Amino acid sequence: MSEGELDLDAINRRAWKERATVGAYVRLQGWTDPGEQAAVEHVAAQVRSRPILDIGVGAGRTTAILRPISSDYVGIDYTQEMVQACRAAHPGARIEHMDARDLSAFEDGRFALVVFSYNGIDAVDLAGRRQVLREVHRVLQPGGLFLFSAHNRQGPGFGEGPRLRFTFSWNPLKLGWRALQSVRSLARSARNHRRFRALNEPHPDWAVMNCAAHDFGIVIVYTTLSEQERQLQAAGFATELVVSNVDGRPVAHDADTSGITWFHYVARKP
């Protein structure tokens, strides 16, 4: 395996560019979970009709959610394939090919709200993550809000391994097809899990780990609640709200977070 194949950024970009991944994101509509809905509802009234930047827009799921809040909307994604899919789905929206680590196309204080949904920030390494936070802070207006989600280092998704998954059906043809697809998925998952394990780097408060999504085809960063809040503070943010992906309820600092797969954060630029 070459050094380039073991680059986190290259691995993840390759996964997002695949036709099957783009197609899955085209079909993805609505809220990812109750936490996302709760977080967006928390900020909506404060930023209505004000400028919004939507990072990692994918095929446009969040475009449909955020444009009703404000017509002053820009969506960006770092893969051209996703940008093209989003533009096709939302021809009236401004969608740009751009990396969140470099938002130099936007002036300081351009936006009232920046959103980075579906744990997109986890797809860059720790240094890149800090750069994203600095860039988001720069392009936010004073008092502006940053809404994003991130995987929980202490959650049930951390450290999971490949296993057979399929939905039962009483229809024998559907059952057979699903079983075949599941076996193929398991084979791909096992192969990717074996290939990318050299990148695994566990630490008590954060980790880089191969993730089950896309048949274990991506490698992401996991953070504890306290570690993510430290990163936000270091970038100049004040954490305003943290909610669980499971039920959308606020998460207390002393709570047991072992059942929460990811958190939704709302942070404010003072």
Listed by start position, the domains of the chain span: 4-153+222-268
Look at residues 111, 115, 105 and name the one whose alpha carbon lies nearest to residue 139.
Answer: 111
Q: Which tokens belong to 149?
A: 């989600």
CATH number belonging to domain 4-153+222-268: 3.40.50.150
- pLDDT, tens digit only, all 270 positions of the chain: 344 456 899 999 999 999 999 999 999 999 999 999 999 999 999 999 999 999 999 999 999 999 999 999 999 999 999 999 999 999 999 999 999 999 999 999 999 999 999 999 999 999 999 999 999 999 999 999 999 999 999 999 998 876 767 676 677 776 566 666 666 767 777 888 889 989 999 999 999 999 988 889 999 999 999 999 999 999 999 999 999 999 999 999 889 999 999 999 999 999
Task: Give the integer Cα–Cα distance in Å for 28 and 51.
Answer: 25
As a residue count, the chain comes to 270
The predicted model scores a pTM of: 0.92
| Rounded (10°) angle between helices 19-27 and 80-89 | 30
Helices (H) and strands (E) in the chain, counts: 9, 10
